[in-house]
Chain A
Amino acid sequence: MSLEAAAFWGLALVLLASGLAVVLSKNLFHSVLYLALALVATAGLFLLLQAEFLAAVQILLYAGGVITIVVFAIVVTERLVGERLVQTNRGIVNGGLVSLAVLIAIIIFVTRATLPQTPPPPPADLTQAIGRDLLTRFVLPFELLAVLFLAALLGALFFARKEE
C-alpha cells in the first residue's frame, strides 16, 4: 500500500467516523468538536487531491470561522436557557430508510460514472489558475459574493441588535 493510499484510507475513516459522531452524539458540544475534526479531515483529502489552496481556505474559513461561531452560539443558547441542551431524536426509522435509499442510489450511480480515463495534466500552478479564474471567468459570481455578504451582514446585525 502506497503512502497516498494509506493517507486516503486513514482520512476517510476519520471523516466518516467524525461525521457519524456529529449526528449521533448526545452532547451538543461534542458534536461541534467532531464537526471540526470532519472539516479538518476533509482539508487533508483536499491536500491529497492537490488542492492546497482549498485546504488552506477550508482550515481558515470553515474550521476556524464557522466552528467558532457555532461554539459561540452553543455557549450563548446554553446560558440563556440555563440548562444543558440535550438532544432528542425523531423519526429515526423513517429518516434511516430515506437516507439508505439516497445512499444506495448515489453510490451506485457515482461509482459507475464514466469519467475520462486518463486525466489531463493540471495547470502548472493551480493556485495561480484559481486566482486568475476568480477575477476573469468567475468575476460576476465573485462580485455577487460581496452582495451576498452584504445581505448576510445586514441580517445578522439586525437580529443581534438590541431592541430600541
Chain B
Amino acid sequence: MVEKWRLLDTGLRDAFYNMALDEAIAIARSKKIVPNTLRFFRWEPSAVSIGYFQSMEEEVDIEACNRLGIDYVRRRTGGGAVYHDRDGELTYSLIINEDHPLISRDFQKTYETLCSGIVRGLGILGVPAEFKPINDIVVGGRKISGNAQTRSMNVVHQHGTILRDVNPTLMFTVLKVPSEKIRDKMIKSVKERVTSIKNYLKREVSFEELKNALIRGFEEAFNIKLAPGKVTDFEEQTAIKLKMEKYSTREWNFKR
C-alpha cells in the first residue's frame, strides 16, 4: 500500500505567515492531527529570510528592504540569508514524523534523502540536478536550490527554494555586502555560481508546470501518493498566533 501524504499549496502569502504556517504544521504533525505534508508556497511581497543563527543587521540591508517594500524574517531553521522573489522562486516545506523510514538520525543523510524528491522533479523537467552536500541542489555545478532542516517535537521540518528565475542584482540590493567596492564582484560571482530553471532550459517554466514535476518527483522518490488537502483550522489559528506573537515581532527577527 502506497503511503498517502497531504499536499498543500498556500499560494502567495507574506513572510511572517509563511514561516508561522510552517511551524504550525509541524506542531499539528507532532500532535498527530495531520499527515505528513508537502507544502508549496510563494512570497508576497518578496522577502528576505535569514537563518536562525544569523544577525539581521549584518545580513540584510534593512533600509533597502523598507524602500523596496521587501519583508525580512528570521527562520526557525539554520543556514544562510535568502532573497525570495515573488515571481522568481517557489518554496516548499516537508513536514514528516521523525520515526519515518525516510528520516535518518544523520542530518546530512536526511538532507540527501529529502532533496532526492526535488532532484527527481527537476529531472522530469529536463534539468539534470544533483544533490550537493551540505544542503544544496546544483545543476552543472551551479546552485538551483537551497534547503534547511530542523527537528523538534519528533517532527522533521525541511524547507527550501527552487529558482525558476534569478536576479542577482536585486539579490545584492537587499543582502548586505562586505563593502560597496565588491558589490559588482559579488553579483558577478553569484551569476557564475547560481542558476535557475529558466537559465538552464532557456525557456519559461510556469509555477504550475514546476509544481506538477515536483509532485511527481516526490511521489516517485518517496514512494508516496500526494493528495491535495487543506490547512486545518488548528493550523490556521496556530499560524495566525505565531505570526503575531513570533515571526512578525522585532524581538524574534532581531534577536541575534
Specify whether A and B are partners: no
Chain A interface residues (CB < 8 Å from chain B): none
